[in-house]
C-alpha cells in the first residue's frame, strides 16, 4: 500500500492514477496529495528523501535540501527578532550544496522520481530559466530523458552546468514564457512524452513544499509569516498545502503561516487582482509588453495558478495573506542589502521577496517578534563560479509558426542524437 493517495480538493474524489491532471469530475480544481501518516523524518538519512511527505518510493539518488538558519544580519537591519531564512542555492560555508542555485531543483528531483515510479519514460518541460537548469541537471543525474522549452527572451540570464549541456533545449524565438508552455504542450502531443504539467503536477508542488518541511524540522513549529516572490504561484501554493498537512498533524501549530507574496512591477497581475479581491485576473495586467519592463522575467507568466480551485487566490484567502508589487530599483537595492548583511549573493527574484519583507516591516504588516520565514529561492551563483564553470545554453531555435510536421521532424532528430 502506498503511503499517499491523490484527492480532489473540491469534490473529494480519490484518483488512483493522476500523474498530472485536474479532477475528471470538477475539471477546474487542483488535486492534492494526502499522506497516511503524520510528519516524520527518517533518522540517519541526509538530503530531502528523509521526509515522508513526498510522493516517491525508494529514490535512487541523493538530493540536497535547503539550508534554514536564523538570521542575524538582515534581521538586525530590519529590526526583527525571529527571522529565518531558507537559502536555496550554493553556499558551502553554510552547508548549502545545490549547484543549480535554485529551489526548482527540489521540484525537478521529486517530479522525475515520481514520474519514474509511474512508468513515465520521458517528459517535456517549459521554463523561463531556473526550472530549465534544474530539470537539465536532474535529467543528467538520474538519466531520465527531458526536452526543455524556454523563451528566447530569457536566454541572456540562463546557464547550465557543463554536464547538462547535452540536454535538448528549444528556445522560442518569438514569444514569452506562456508561449513556451504552449509550444511544450504541442511537443508533448507530437512526441508522446507527457508535458510536465506545471501547477497541476502534485509532485512539483510537494517538491517545492520541502522548504516548509525543512523549516518545521529546524524551528519545531510553523512560522507565523512566509515571504516569497511568485510567478506562477506554484511555490506559494505548495507551502500552503504543506501547512494544511501540519495543521492536521496537530503538533506544529494551529494557524497557517500568513502568505506574503510579491511580484515585480509593472508585470504584477496577481497583485492588482488580490488587492481588489477578484478571483479573476484582469487582461490589461497580462499584456506581454509589461514583461519586457521587469528585471525578473523568470517569475513572469501570463498563465499563473491564481484563479483555479486550490490556487493562489484560495491560498491567500485561507491565510489572510498579502501581495506586494516591487519596483525594479527596489529589487536591486534589496539584493545588495541581503549580500551586505548575510554575506552571500542572491538572484533578482529572491530580491523581490526581500524587498517585500522590507515593505511589510515599514508598513507594520509584521510584528518584530513574529516568526518569519523568508524563502530565498535562488542564490550563490557568484560563489559557485569561483569553483565551478558554468555555460551559456545553446538551444535549437523555433518559431511559434512551426508546423506539426516540422516539429515532429525536429523531435525525431533530437531523440536520435540523444540515443
- Tell me the pLDDT of the chain averaged across its residues: 94
Cell numbers for 265, please give them. Answer: 512591477
Looking at residue 289, its pLDDT comes to 95
**What local confidence, expressed as pLDDT, does residue 416 receive?**
72
> Do 265 and 349 lie in a common domain?
yes
Q: What is the pLDDT of residues 300-315, one digit of tens each?
A: 999 999 999 999 999 9
- pTM confidence score: 0.95
Neighbours of 286 (CB within 10 A): 16
The reply to whether 302 and 247 lie within a common domain is: yes
106-118 confidence digits (pLDDT tens) = 999 999 999 998 8
Same domain, 166 and 301: no
Q: What percentage of residues in the chain have a pLDDT greater than 90?
A: 85
Query: Do 258 and 131 lie in a common domain?
Result: no
Provide the pLDDT for residue 20. Answer: 67
What would the grid cell of residue 314 be? 484560495
CATH number at residue 326: 3.40.50.1100
Q: How far is CA 253 from the centre of its chain?
A: 25
Residue 356 has pLDDT above 80, yes or no: yes
Model confidence at 396, pLDDT cuts 50, 70, 90, reads very high
Percent of the chain topping pLDDT 70: 97
Distance between first and last Cα of the chain: 35
What is residue 156's predicted lDDT score, i.e. its pLDDT?
85
Q: Quickly count: other Cβ atoms within 10 Å of residue 128's Cβ.
A: 27
61 in any annotated domain: no
* Percentage helix, strand, coil for the chain under 3-state DSSP, each rounded to 5: 40, 20, 40
Residue 324 forms part of a structural domain: yes
Number of domain units in the chain: 2
Q: Are residues 364 and 410 part of one domain? A: no
Q: Are residues 210 and 86 in the same domain?
A: yes
Same domain, 266 and 286: yes
User: Is residue 323 assigned to a domain?
Assistant: yes
Nearest Cα neighbor of 297 from 226, 349, 351 is 349
Distance of alpha carbon 114 from alpha carbon 303, whole angstroms? 24
77-108: pLDDT as tens digits? 999 999 999 999 999 999 999 999 999 999 99
**Angle formed by the axes of helices 104-117 and 210-219, nearest 10°:** 110
44 within domain boundaries: no
Q: What is the pLDDT of residue 71?
A: 98
Domain assignment of residue 175, yes or no? yes
87, part of any domain:
yes
**Is the domain of 225 the same as that of 188?**
no
Q: Examine the domain organization and report whether 377 and 393 are in the same domain.
A: no
Q: Do 400 and 352 fall into the same domain? A: no
Q: In whole angstroms, what is the distance from residue 93 CA to residue 291 CA? A: 36
Structural domain boundaries enclosing 243 = 67-98+203-384
In a shared domain, residues 343 and 404: no
Q: Residue 137 above 60 pLDDT?
A: yes
Reply yes or no on whether the pLDDT at 186 is more than 80: yes
pLDDT tops 90 at residue 14: no
Verify that 178 and 285 share a domain, yes or no: no
**Residue 85 forms part of a structural domain:** yes
Indicate the pairing of strand 96-97 with strand 82-91.
antiparallel
Amino acid at each position: 500500500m502506498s503511503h499517499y493517495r491523490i484527492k480532489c480538493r473540491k469534490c473529494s474524489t480519490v484518483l488512483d492514477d493522476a500523474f498530472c491532471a485536474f479532477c475528471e469530475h470538477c475539471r477546474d480544481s487542483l488535486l492534492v496529495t494526502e499522506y497516511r501518516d503524520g510528519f516524520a523524518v527518517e533518522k540517519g538519512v541526509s538530503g530531502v528523501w528523509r521526509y515522508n511527505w513526498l510522493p516517491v518510493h525508494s529514490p535512487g539518488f541523493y538530493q540536497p535540501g535547503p539550508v534554514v538558519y536564523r538570521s542575524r544580519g538582515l534581521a538586525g537591519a530590519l529590526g526583527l527578532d525571529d527571522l529565518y531564512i531558507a537559502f536555496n542555492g550554493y553556499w558551502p560555508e553554510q552547508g548549502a550544496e545545490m549547484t543549480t542555485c535554485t529551489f526548482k531543483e527540489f521540484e525537478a528531483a521529486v517530479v522525475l522520481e515520481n514520474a519514474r515510479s509511474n512508468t513515465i519514460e520521458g517528459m517535456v518541460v517549459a521554463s523561463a530559466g531556473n526550472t530549465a537548469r534544474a530539470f537539465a541537471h536532474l535529467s543528467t543525474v538520474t538519466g531520465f530523458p527531458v526536452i526543455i522549452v524556454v523563451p528566447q527572451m530569457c536566454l541572456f540570464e540562463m546557464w547550465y552546468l557543463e554536464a547538462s549541456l547535452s540536454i535538448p533545449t528549444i528556445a522560442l524565438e518569438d514569444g514569452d514564457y506562456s508561449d513556451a508552455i504552449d509550444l511544450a504542450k504541442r511537443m508533448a502531443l507530437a512526441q508522446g512524452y507527457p508535458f510536465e504539467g506545471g501547477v497541476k503536477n502534485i509532485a512539483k508542488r510537494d517538491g517545492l513544499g520541502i522548504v516548509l518541511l525543512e523549516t518545521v524540522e529546524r524551528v519545531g513549529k510553523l512560522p507565523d509569516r512566509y515571504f516569497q516572490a511568485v510567478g506562477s504561484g506554484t511555490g506559494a501554493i505548495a507551502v500552503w498545502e504543506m501547512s494544511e498537512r501540519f495543521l492536521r498533524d496537530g503538533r506544529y501549530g494551529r494557524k497557517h503561516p500568513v502568505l506574503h507574496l510579491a511580484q515585480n512591477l509593472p508585470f504584477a497581475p496577481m497583485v492588482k487582482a488580490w488587492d481588489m479581491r477578484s478571483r479573476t485576473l484582469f487582461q490589461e495586467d497580462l499584456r506581454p509588453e509589461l514583461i519586457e519592463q521587469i528585471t525578473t522575467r523568470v517569475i513572469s507568466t501570463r498563465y499563473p495558478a491564481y484563479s483555479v480551485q486550490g490556487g493562489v487566490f484560495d491560498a491567500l484567502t485561507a491565510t489572510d495573506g498579502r501581495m506586494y508589487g516591487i519596483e525594479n530599483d527596489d529589487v536591486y537595492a534589496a539584493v545588495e542589502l541581503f549580500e551586505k548583511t548575510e554575506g552571500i549573493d542572491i538572484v533578482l527574484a529572491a530580491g523581490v521577496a526581500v524587498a517585500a519583507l522590507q515593505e511589510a516591516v515599514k508598513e507594520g504588516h509584521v510584528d518584530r517578534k513574529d516568526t518569519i520565514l523568508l524563502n530565498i529561492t535562488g542564490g550563490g551563483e557568484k560563489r559557485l563560479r569561483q569553483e565551478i564553470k558554468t555555460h551559456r545554453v545553446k538551444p535549437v531555435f523555433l518559431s511559434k509558426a512551426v508546423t506539426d510536421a516540422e516539429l515532429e521532424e525536429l523531435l525525431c532528430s533530437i531523440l536520435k542524437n540523444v540515443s
